[in-house]
Amino acid sequence: MITLNGIHASPGIVIGKAFLFDIGSYRVEKKEIASIQIEIEVYHFKEAVLKTKEEIKKIEEKVQKSMGVDIAKIFSAHLMVLEDPLLVLDVAQKIREEKVCAEYALECVLQNIANSFSAMDDEYLRERAVDVFDIGRRILHNIIGVVRMNVEDLTEEVILVAHELSPSDTAHMHDGKVIGFVTEIGGKTSHAAIMARALEIPAVVGLKDITFRLRNNDTIIIDGSHGVVIINPDKETLNEYSHRQDEYCAFKEGLTWLRDLPAQTEDGFRVLLSANIGKSEEIEVVKREGAEGIGLYRTEYLYLDREDLPSEEEQFNEYKAVLLNLYPCPVVIRTIDLGGDKFCTSIELPLEVNPFLGLRAIRLCLRHPDIFKVQLRAILRASIYGKAQMMFPLITEIAELQQAKSCLLAAKRELDEENIPFDRHIQIGVMIETPSAALIADRLASEVDFFSIGTNDLIQYTLAIDRINEEVAHLYKPFHPAVLRLIKMTIDAAHKEGKWIGMCGEMAGEPLYTVLLLGLGLDEFSMSGSSISKIKKIIRATRLDEAKAFANEIMQETSSNEIWDVLNKTMMERFGNILEI
């Protein structure tokens, strides 16, 4: 049994079989094995070699048919290495003599073979060292049982274990086959973590080296509430966690009575509790949890994982369906936020050193006005089917907002000329997710109908902390005084202009901050569906005057440590059961 600690990304407990999905650049480690394990390990290795031979033979046949005998010869050379009896004998000997795992024994033997190739005079033979490592990697995959396939092709329930999950991998997790996941990289606001919360799948991220700590089909426990992963648990631990799993479900069940109650404080101050979605499939979860609208619809998911761009018609139908499904609740449709860590093949993106500081979101749309206009037209056309609101991501200055608005105006004019109806009063907002936008919020406020604070990015850009880098995840602090000041400034600026303001960053769904944000005057909280009942419970147990006094007290503090102490102490005392679960 091995217990590991990562970053808690999505709450809940799940026990299941590990499925090694993507091992990134796998590093082999020397793992010692018990004497009783030796022959099993040797057998395991021999099986992996046989499997690799079959794979290579198949590839050879295929290549021979499609590209001719000469090219296929490369694979004959691979087969020769595999059929060399010394390879199997040497690896088996190493496992037996040194009592080490098969992958480590293989790596050592292959290294020796490659070294002797590299030392040869003949250039052709020298280059065969590359083939040796290529074969090594194939055998290694078969030893640890990694299979690279698409998430949508999974046929049974698994816990995905991956180096990284791309947005398109996570976009296919709706069908229930992925019951939990662990990744080596990423932070709490990486897209994979956000998607896990949206789908209510327990997840732990930033767990370095997890892919080589286990093998396919190992039993693992994920405690997504506390960031714990246990590999091959003993019986006692299994029992303990299945008991905890029941407790967690009972806790969630115990909150369902809140579903139809309003999100209002004890003294009657009403806020809006909305949900964030990435794909229309998430709507059912969101409705079940009692969301009063969609505060962030991440439309870029429509553009991922495909060769072509979604047409105006396709987008129109998608937005219309979401609006109709949620009617009469509001739906904030965010125009595409591609770039950063969300890449799509149909728009040519430059290779950037710092994609999060590059051609992302509104910048990309303004660079490609034709693509932008297709989306604007689709949103406008759909707007008559419900309460649509539209917002632009990553605005950093007035000129950018004005440019975006003039694209919108052009789209409206076109629709008018074509006699196509749209909601003429559709509300327009901007996301406040850069320090520059927060600092000029007073100016931006007069240009729009609402703001939505995107704390995931606001924190990363304010504190210079890459939101998906697990190395600096401990420095990613929503409670940093600079972040809180920017949030307060933005809320005050919106209210001064008589505009409403929401928050759709992950901070809005974290119980630790609910009372503080209420006290700072937030009007709308938008979060993953799974957080709604917890946040509602806190709001309904709080008085607005008490929240304001608390926010005042917090804003007086000087350092993030002091703020953390006050926040944590007060919230744990009052809502420990919600924060802990």
Please select the residue that binds ligand PEP; options are 174, 279, 298, 488, rule is CB under 6 A: 298
Binding at 151: pick from ligand PEP, Mg ion, none (beta carbon under 5-8 Å per type): none
Q: Applying CB under 6 A, does 335 fall inside the site for ligand PEP?
A: no
Please select the residue that binds ligand PEP; options are 478, 505, 509, 519, rule is CB under 6 A: 505
Q: Applying CB under 6 A, does 296 fall inside the site for ligand PEP?
A: yes
Segments in 218-356 forming alpha helices (H)? 235-253, 283-288, 312-326
Binding at 298: pick from Mg ion, ligand PEP, none (beta carbon under 5-8 Å per type): ligand PEP
Q: Applying CB under 6 A, does 531 fall inside the site for ligand PEP?
A: no
CB 6 within 8 A of CB 205: yes
Minimum CB–partner distance for residue 296 and ligand PEP (Å)? 6
Sequence-separated (6 or more) residues with CB below 8 Å from residue 89: none
Binding at 455: pick from Mg ion, ligand PEP, none (beta carbon under 5-8 Å per type): ligand PEP
Binding region: 298, 334, 433, 456-457, 467
CB 515 within 8 A of CB 542: yes
User: Alpha-carbon distance 448 to 328, whole Å?
Assistant: 22
CA distances from 357 to 44, 87, 184, 185, 364 (A): 47, 49, 23, 20, 12
Place of tokens 């040869």: 120
Binding region for phosphoenolpyruvate: 298, 334, 456-457, 467
Binding at 408: pick from ligand PEP, Mg ion, none (beta carbon under 5-8 Å per type): none
CA distances from 541 to 260, 355, 394 (A): 16, 42, 34
Minimum CB–partner distance for residue 280 and ligand PEP (Å)? 17
Is-catalytic flag, 8? no
CB 544 within 8 A of CB 521: no
Minimum CB–partner distance for residue 79 and ligand PEP (Å)? 48
Minimum CB–partner distance for residue 272 and ligand PEP (Å)? 16
Minimum CB–partner distance for residue 189 and ligand PEP (Å)? 6
Nearer to ligand PEP, 206 or 505 (CB): 505
Q: Applying CB under 6 A, does 279 fall inside the site for ligand PEP?
A: no
Please select the residue that binds ligand PEP; options are 167, 206, 310, 454, rule is CB under 6 A: 454
Nearer to ligand PEP, 318 or 433 (CB): 433
User: Alpha-carbon distance 545 to 312, whole Å?
Assistant: 48
Q: Nearest CA to 540 among 260, 251, 250? A: 260
Sequence-separated (6 or more) residues with CB below 8 Å from residue 156: 177
- Return the biggest CA–CA distance within the chain: 85
Place of tokens 């993106």: 349
**Strand arrangement, sheet containing 219-223:** 2-5, 228-231, 219-223, 13-22, 158-162, 178-183, 203-205, 7-10
User: Alpha-carbon distance 510 to 518, whole Å?
Assistant: 13
CB 296 within 8 A of CB 455: no
Residue numbers at the binding site for Mg ion (CB under 5 A): 433, 454, 457
Minimum CB–partner distance for residue 459 and Mg ion (Å)? 10
Nearer to ligand PEP, 400 or 457 (CB): 457
Q: Applying CB under 6 A, does 510 fall inside the site for ligand PEP?
A: no
The residue number with the shortest CB distance to Mg ion is 457
Cis omega before residue 511 (within 30°)?
Answer: no
Q: Which of 191, 329, 365, 480 is catalytic?
A: 191
CB 337 within 8 A of CB 302: no
Q: Applying CB under 6 A, does 514 fall inside the site for ligand PEP?
A: no
Is-catalytic flag, 191? yes
Binding at 528: pick from ligand PEP, Mg ion, none (beta carbon under 5-8 Å per type): none
* N- to C-terminal Cα separation, the chain: 24
Nearer to ligand PEP, 20 or 504 (CB): 504
Nearer to Mg ion, 265 or 276 (CB): 276
Q: Which residues ranging from 422 to 441 are in contact with ligand PEP (CB under 6 A)?
A: 433
List interacting residues with ligand PEP (CB under 6 A): 296, 298, 337, 433, 454-457, 504-505
Q: Which of the residues are catalytic?
A: 191, 504
